[in-house]
Amino acid sequence: MQLRDVQLGDVDAYVRMRCDPAMMIDLGGPLPREGMEDKVRRDVRSAESGTQWIKMIVLDEADPAVPAGTVTLWSHSEDGEEMSEIGWMVLPEFQGRGVGKRAVRELLELARADGRWGLVHAFPAATNAPSNGICRSLGFQFLEERDVTFADRVLKTNHWRIDPRAALN
């Protein structure tokens, strides 16, 4: 498996991930198709500047232009303090094969080597069993249930946290 930066050619993968009702069922439903080119352009700029790590998951056997999903690490301000957050998505044909877990582990290992991210938080939807499975299985600590705003929707999530410097399962 490789993680590569998002590219302008990833619009199709974004549409399949973000505009699909099944993929977005735990994230408040599909996003509008028309915003996706702009979203990819913004993400490419953020990835190039290094302010966010927006990685596409590429499986060894697959064409690098055809991603299996995405894993992202970014930082935002919460009550005046910087907080690092990780999120992920895996396309349906690659789900249930450990791809999400391996990709999250790999990005956390990069974060450990980089050293600037500190503790990393994740907020999977409370109803998303595989996403919570990734947290549990990699050794994230469960902190609390929390309402989180994503794309103008309020989601019921589980708040998990991990120190990438600790051993990852």
Interacting residues with ligand COA (CB under 6 A): 23, 26-27, 88-90, 95-101, 124-125, 128-131, 133-134, 137
Q: Nearest approach, Cβ of 80 to ligand COA (angstroms)?
A: 26
Strand partners, 85: 74, 121
Tokens at 6, concatenated: 């998002």
Output DSSP code: residue 6: -
Q: How far is the CB of 113 from ligand COA (least distance, A)?
A: 22
Shortest Å, Cβ 95 to ligand COA: 3
In terms of Cα–Cα distance, which of 51, 47, 34 is closest to 8?
A: 47
The identity of residue 78, as a single letter, is E
- Residue among 80 and 93 whose Cβ is closer to ligand COA: 93
In the complex, least distance from residue 164 CB atom to ligand COA, rounded to whole angstroms: 18
Q: What is the pairing mode between strands 141-150 and 120-122?
A: unpaired
Q: Looking at beta carbons, which residue is closest to ligand COA?
A: 133
**Which residue number, 80 or 128, has a Cβ lying nearer to ligand COA?**
128
In whole angstroms, the minimum distance from the beta carbon of 115 to ligand COA comes to 26
Q: Which residues does residue 156 pair with via DSSP β-bridges, in sequence order? A: 147
Structure tokens at 73: 């690490």
How many other CB atoms are found less than 10 A from the CB of residue 36? 19
The pair of structure tokens assigned to 169 is 């399962």
CB nearer to ligand COA: pick between 45 and 156 = 156
C-alpha closest to that of 66 among 7, 134, 22, 24: 7
Q: Which CB atom, from 30 or from 130, has the smaller least distance to ligand COA?
A: 130
Q: Which is nearer to ligand COA, 25 or 48 (CB)?
A: 25
